Structure 1
Amino acid sequence: MSDMLRAPAEIKYAEELDWLESVDDSPKPFSWRLSPKMVRLFILGSERSDGLDREISQKWYGDPSFVERSVVTLASDRGLLLIGDPGTGKSWLAELLSAAICRNSTLVVQGTAGTTEDHIKYSWNVSMVIAKGQSRESMIPSPIMTAMESGGIGRIEELTRSTSDVQDALISILSEKYISVPELDSDNIVFAKPGFSVIATANSRDRGVNDLSSALKRRFNFVRIPVVTNKKSEVEIVRFRTEELLRRHQLELDVPPTLLDVLLQSFADLRASAAAAGSDDEKLESALSTAEQIGVLEDAILHSNFFGERALTARTLASSLVGSLARREPEDLAILNKYLHGVVEPRSKEEGGSWPEFLEGGRDAIATLS
């Protein structure tokens, strides 16, 4: 892991997965490495009532029913589509599911306007084709085809950013569970092995980019992942990711609970303001997701470590918040300035604490960017 900037879940949590597999005596669908019960436990963490000899850490924070429905879907013959706003943990949940079920979360296709049918099916090694002709050896399987051949999970990120040709190719794979290779005279069909399934993600803000056809929708079970607004859950997520960040950078830096409260309250205030806005011009371009909160905190921690006094301050946190959320000028700066004057300034006078310093840091950051 020390040689990887970011280890996939099956490597990062290999020891946990090995242990769970060794004690798992429940029935497993197809070629799954863990039973559905253990997949859920791996993702959501263990409780005392589970009766395990060791604790399993919680890795995804959200309604347990989302995980359960996802697991049930992958045990059926339908694909799983995780849909929601940016930063709601869709890709992380897809990675954890793949790691627990088949110990390989890296069979991923990134959906873009440039994604082609070849990325979903297969392509050819041109030099080998010229030298030896078209054969199975000269064929380059896509991550989806590799998942089919191994009975694993193939992942497609941002499905709605892919064109209709790519989506049509996926319909055939999900329906027939095989891929034809017409260029070959024999051995020209790749059949999916039991256990194969597809997890796709879609950004709900991309609606209208490349809408899914009704035929493709029928082949997926939808699980909608909402933005986390529960304060307790947000605190757990932010703490979990912050601890990971500190370990990865080998930092010894304290994150005061009061500053964490300031960050969470700021995002709650800005979300309420966005919900009450009458037009898009009155809303920040940011989705104000939990992932963006983590990004703000990460920026503030690293800045404090490299250029500060190795202690997180409200001023640095405010500067990071403004710098991360001000994406449009002058619209976003005006919205943040209104928030500081209309909400933070009265609160700093009433409550004191870290708010006055947060207000001052925010004003300085806006002045710098204006």
Structure 2
Amino acid sequence: MTEMLRAPAEVKFAEELDWLESVDDGPKPFSWRLSPRMVRLFVLGSEKSDGLDRQVEQKWFGDRSFVERAIVTLASDRGLLLIGDPGTGKSWLAELLSAAISRNSTLVVQGTAGTTEDHIKYSWNVSMVIAKGQSRDSMIPSPIMTAMEQGVIGRFEELTRSTSDVQDALISILSEKYVSIPELDDDNTVFAKPGFSIIATANSRDKGVNDLSSALKRRFNFVRIPVVTNKSSEAEIVRFRTTELLRRHAIDLDVPPNLLDILLQSFADLRTAAASATSEDDKLESALSTAEQIGVLEDAILHSQFFGDRVLKAGTLANSLVGSLARRQPEDLAILNKYWHGVVEPRSKKDGGEWTEFMDGGRQAIATLS
């Protein structure tokens, strides 16, 4: 694990998954490694009422009903589509579910404008085809086909960014549960084993890029993941991810609770302003998601570690926030400047302390970028 820049969930939480599997006496659908109850425990963490001998940490922060509906969908062997705004944890939830159910979350297809049908079915090893002809040995299965052959979960990220012909190729896989290989005379069909399913994600802001056909929609159960707006839940997510960051980089640096409060309040204020904006030009290009908050805090921590005095300060946090959110110039800078004058400045006069340093750091960052 120390040799991986980012370990997949089944590697990172391998010991915990082994333990859950050893104490799991619940019914398991198909070839699942854990029962649905244990999958939920792995994702959402354990409670005293669960009667376990050890604590299982919470890894995804959101409504329990979303996770339960996702698990039930996969147990029914239907496709699962997680849809929501950027940064709502769709991919992380998909990874955790795959790790708990199959102990393999790496069978992933990334949807882009360049994704082809070969990426979800199969392609060929050209040199082997030239030398020995087309055969199953010279075929290169896609991650989805591999998931079918193994009876595990395959993942498709950013489904709506793929073209319609690629999306259409999924319809037969989800409905018929097999892939035909017309180039071969024998052994020319790959059938999905029990336990196979697909977890796809889609960005709700990509509506209109490549809309899903009604036929494909019918093959998926939709679970909409909302933006986290509850401050306590959002704070838990940010703390969880920040702890991971500090551990990964071996950084010994505290995140003062009052600075975390400033970060959360700033994003809440900017979301409120975006909700009341009358045009797109009056909104930041950023989705103002929890993931972006984590990115802002990560940037500030690393800057403090490598270029500061290894103490996280409000000015550094403000500089990171402005630098991360000012993507369009001059539109985003104008919005941030208005926020700093209309909200941060009055709050600094009222509360003082870190808010004053936060105000000064933000003003300096805005002036530098202007």
Q: Which amino acid aligns with 1:246?
A: L
Question: Structure 1 residue 353: deviation in Å?
Answer: 2.2
Q: Which amino acid aligns with 2:126?
A: V
Q: Which amino acid aligns with 2:128?
A: M
Q: For residues 192 and 18 of structure 1, what CA distance do their matches in structure 2 show?
A: 26
Q: Which amino acid aligns with 1:321?
A: L
Q: For residues 117 and 244 of structure 2, what CA distance do their matches in structure 1 show?
A: 37
Matches within 5 A, 1:59-208: 59-208=59-208
Structure 1 residue 346 corresponds to structure 2 residue 346: yes
Matches within 5 A, 1:274-313: 274-313=274-313
Q: For residues 295 and 93 of structure 2, what CA distance do their matches in structure 1 show?
A: 18
Q: For residues 141 and 349 of structure 1, what CA distance do their matches in structure 2 show?
A: 63
Q: Which amino acid aligns with 2:258?
A: T
Partner of 2:48: 48
SS in 2 for 1:140: strand
TM-score, normalised relative to structure 2: 1.00
Q: For residues 174 and 256 of structure 2, what CA distance do their matches in structure 1 show?
A: 49
- Residue by residue over 1:110-167, the C-alpha shift from the partner in whole angstroms, topping out at 9 and shown as x without a partner, is 0000000000100000000000000000000000000000000000000000001101
Q: Which amino acid aligns with 2:99?
A: A
Question: Structure 1 residue 276: deviation in Å?
Answer: 0.3
Q: For residues 187 and 54 of structure 1, what CA distance do their matches in structure 2 show?
A: 48
Q: For residues 308 and 141 of structure 2, what CA distance do their matches in structure 1 show?
A: 49
- Residue by residue over 1:53-100, the C-alpha shift from the partner in whole angstroms, topping out at 9 and shown as x without a partner, is 111010000001010000000011310000000000000000000000
Gap runs ≥5 in structure 2: none
Q: For residues 178 and 206 of structure 1, what CA distance do their matches in structure 2 show?
A: 29
Q: For residues 217 and 53 of structure 1, what CA distance do their matches in structure 2 show?
A: 42
- Residue by residue over 1:285-307, the C-alpha shift from the partner in whole angstroms, topping out at 9 and shown as x without a partner, is 00000000000000000000000
TM-score, normalised relative to structure 1: 1.00
Stretches of 4+ moved more than 6 A in 1?
A: none
Q: Which amino acid aligns with 2:114?
A: G
Q: Which amino acid aligns with 1:295?
A: G
Q: For residues 60 and 353 of structure 1, what CA distance do their matches in structure 2 show?
A: 33
Q: For residues 152 and 142 of structure 2, what CA distance do their matches in structure 1 show?
A: 13
Q: For residues 77 and 318 of structure 2, what CA distance do their matches in structure 1 show?
A: 48
Q: For residues 291 and 103 of structure 1, what CA distance do their matches in structure 2 show?
A: 25
Question: Structure 1 residue 268: deviation in Å?
Answer: 0.2
Q: When the two structures are aligned, how many residues end up with a matched partner? A: 370
Q: For residues 359 and 348 of structure 1, what CA distance do their matches in structure 2 show?
A: 7
Percent of paired sites with the same residue: 85
Structure 1 residue 228 corresponds to structure 2 residue 228: yes
Partner of 1:248: 248
Question: Structure 1 residue 352: deviation in Å?
Answer: 1.3
Segment drifting more, 314-323 vs 350-359: 350-359
Q: Which amino acid aligns with 1:251?
A: I
SS in 2 for 1:28: coil
Partner of 1:37: 37
Q: For residues 250 and 314 of structure 1, what CA distance do their matches in structure 2 show?
A: 22
Q: For residues 47 and 246 of structure 2, what CA distance do their matches in structure 1 show?
A: 26
Q: For residues 346 and 55 of structure 2, what CA distance do their matches in structure 1 show?
A: 45
Q: For residues 159 and 43 of structure 2, what CA distance do their matches in structure 1 show?
A: 24
SS in 2 for 1:65: helix
SS in 2 for 1:293: helix
Partner of 1:272: 272
SS in 2 for 1:60: coil
SS in 1 for 2:221: strand
